[in-house]
Amino acid sequence: MAREIDGNLIATGKEFVVVAARWNERFGEALIEGAVDCLERHGARSEDVTVVRCPGSFELPQVAARVSDRLDPDAVICLGVLIRGETPHFDYIAGEATSGIGALGREGDLPVTYGVLTCDTMEQAMARSGSKAGNKGAEAAEAAIEMANLYESIDELA
């Protein structure tokens, strides 16, 4: 039978850093709340969860790299809210945030998860930060717990 490994959703004993952009703060704070609540519900102690705020989503990969290096958590969760305006600014920032977070996850040693909303309207941001379409901060936190445990399982096999 094939050997199978996966990551469980137990956050007990693990340390997490939530890096959150301040832009569109109302929705951003709701994402942070969803993420922290999810981590604690899965067993993380509040003292093992650190929230770091940065100016905007463009800076998320930079700050995530810094906290990975200096704080050495089990996983980093990146949260931001981008709402499309009339210029291509949105696309540049979304591109940098997305590819930067992905690159950090691939090239670094830690799982880095992606809870960045890329919305056309405030209504879409509202729906994804706590109401109809769920809370993407909580989803990114849950992925971080699974990834932290998955990396641990992989390391045990190595």
In terms of Cβ atoms closer than 10 Å to its own Cβ (0-12, 13-18, 19+), residue 107 is exposed
Selection from 82, 77, 106, 85 nearest residue 94 by Cα: 82
Q: How far is the CB of 71 from ligand DLZ (least distance, A)?
A: 21
23 binds ligand DLZ (CB under 6 A): yes
The verdict on whether 89 is a catalytic residue reads yes
136 Cβ contact list (under 8 Å, min separation 6) = 31, 34, 79, 115, 117, 128, 129
Of 26, 41, 45, 89, which is the active-site residue? 89
Nearer to ligand DLZ, 122 or 154 (CB): 122
User: Does 82 interact with ligand DLZ (rule: CB under 6 A)?
Assistant: yes
Tell me which residue has its CB nearest to ligand DLZ: 56
Residues within window 48-67 making contact with ligand DLZ, judged by CB under 6 A: 55-59
Q: What is the DSSP letter of 40?
A: H
Residue type, position 140, single letter: A
Residues assigned a catalytic role? 89
Residues that bind ligand DLZ (CB under 6 A): 21, 23-24, 55-59, 80-83, 85, 89, 93
